[in-house]
Structure 1
Amino acid sequence: MLPAQYLFDIEPYTKINKRDYLLIIPPDRDVVSKIMYFKLKAWEMIGAYPSLHSTAHITINHDYNIYASVFEEKLTYYRRKVSFINTFEVKISGFDKFQHGDTYTIYAKVEVSAAIKETLSKFNKTFSKGVVKTPHITIAKTITKEKFEILWKYFEHLNFEYSFYPDKIRVLETPTRRFFNQPMKMKTELKLKQVG
């Protein structure tokens, strides 16, 4: 069943259009659960906000508006290169913020250790379009200054320490969001090299 905003069946057109791909590190279940707790706490304080229902993840790379056939070729290369990159420790320590013009984002802060820097450098050499400069797990995205100030009083000094070792990079896919607003779905996973 199509959402009400579509006046015709878009399926044939989404098959031939370009796609958006998101490469992420999925945290372990404990982190996902804790981040959901923080998101719901934020919802109690300010009401609904854009990233409320997104599952906790660390974005590595975003390939926008690319033909699926082109990405499939990249994926073969990515899979081979990632299989030589060792698993690494991700340490989460407290919270921080971004400001984008008039809006703010609050996130769980990933410590940028020597191991993280080295891994991001390898990712940067592997993935097109570069990788994120500040790895993080979003709590509340693109919120107003007023809502940010309410939440920041809670999150600024809140203690949250956790670490985990990711074993994969997850690839998400959606028809390009320039024309459609559909949720991303898992396409595949790229396994990191297990050590020890």
Structure 2
Amino acid sequence: MTGYQNYLIILAPPAEVSQQVKKLKLSSAAVIGEYEGLFSKAHITVQPWMRKKPVWVGPLIPKLERDLQNLPPITLTIDGFDYFDQQETASIYAKLVSTPLTKVWFKTLRRYFNTPPFEPHITIARSISKDNFNKLWPHFKNKQWRHEFKVDQLTILRREHIGYDKSYKIYKEMPFNQHINFDDFANLKLKTPLLTINKSNTQQFSLF
């Protein structure tokens, strides 16, 4: 391939989550009609790489594989639904429980991609009109869905930047380190900034 490609870096949930998201999307379409992203598979977006040549992406992979060996697999929990208000549009998504431990894990992952902070989520209906949102949100507002799942690898998807086929296909799957304990990893990361701050404070007081 010599042309430009679009890449999407994601965390892919297991099959049972994907199947439930598919059902929720189809039931949403029954209410508001077909919408963009209706047939996309469930995922948690980490970062898009738009309009990149394979020669740019290829050399990044070995370093990324090494970096990801510093991260343990993560267990995430879906807990109901929420939405993003985007002024003229809105997006409904499956909400993920956020804890100090999951936050520090995602912060470490973001560092490898220079990605700004974001709220991890699984989109159900993306960028739908406000009229469609007002029709659809009552179906999700009090809907219960709690499900725990494990993510043990990062996935890079790829598609042609220009062309008929707009569907993403798997380009690379890179595992996290199964030998690292998640709680030990996250607690260590949480303690490190505190130790740095305390040390800094001690130095400041010593000046006076």
Say whether the fold is shared (TM-score over 0.5).
Answer: yes
* From 41, 51, 61, the counterpart of 1:75: 61
SS at the partner of 1:50? coil
1:139 aligned to 2:139?
no
1:65 aligned to 2:54?
no
Please report how far the alpha carbon of residue 76 of structure 1 lies from its aligned counterpart in structure 2 after TM superposition.
1.1
- Give the equivalent residue in structure 2 for 1:11: none
Within 1, Cα distance between the matches of 2:120 and 2:26?
A: 22
- Give the equivalent residue in structure 2 for 1:38: 24
Aligned letter for 1:54? Answer: S
SS at the partner of 2:73? coil
Distance 1:140 1:163, change over 3 A: same
Within 1, Cα distance between the matches of 2:94 and 2:43?
A: 10
Within 2, Cα distance between the matches of 1:175 and 1:156?
A: 37
Q: Retained in 2: the 8 A contact 1:89–1:115?
A: no
* From 129, 135, 139, the counterpart of 1:150: 135
Using the aligned pairs only, state the percent identity: 26
1:87 aligned to 2:73?
yes
Please report how far the alpha carbon of residue 34 of structure 1 lies from its aligned counterpart in structure 2 after TM superposition.
1.0
Aligned letter for 2:143? Answer: L
- Give the equivalent residue in structure 1 for 2:168: 184
How many correspondences in the alignment?
A: 179
Within 1, Cα distance between the matches of 2:71 and 2:116?
A: 15
Distance 1:80 1:62, change over 3 A: same
Q: Whose helix proportion is higher, 1 or 2?
A: 2
Query: Per-residue CA shift, 1:58-82, capped at 9, x if unaligned?
Result: 1111112222111111111111111
Aligned letter for 1:36? Answer: K
TM-score (norm 1): 0.86
Within 1, Cα distance between the matches of 2:12 and 2:82?
A: 20
TM-score (norm 2): 0.81
Q: Retained in 1: the 8 A contact 2:107–2:117?
A: no
Please report how far the alpha carbon of residue 131 of structure 1 lies from its aligned counterpart in structure 2 after TM superposition.
5.4
SS at the partner of 1:21? strand
Q: Retained in 1: the 8 A contact 2:46–2:110?
A: no
1:115 aligned to 2:89?
no
Within 1, Cα distance between the matches of 2:113 and 2:56?
A: 13
Distance 1:131 1:167, change over 3 A: farther
Task: Give unmatched runs, 5+ long, in structure 2.
Answer: 182-208
Within 2, Cα distance between the matches of 1:123 and 1:131?
A: 11
Task: Give unmatched runs, 5+ long, in structure 1.
Answer: 1-14
Within 1, Cα distance between the matches of 2:107 and 2:52?
A: 23
Please report how far the alpha carbon of residue 132 of structure 1 lies from its aligned counterpart in structure 2 after TM superposition.
5.7
Within 1, Cα distance between the matches of 2:48 and 2:117?
A: 9
Aligned letter for 1:30? Answer: E
- Give the equivalent residue in structure 1 for 2:192: none
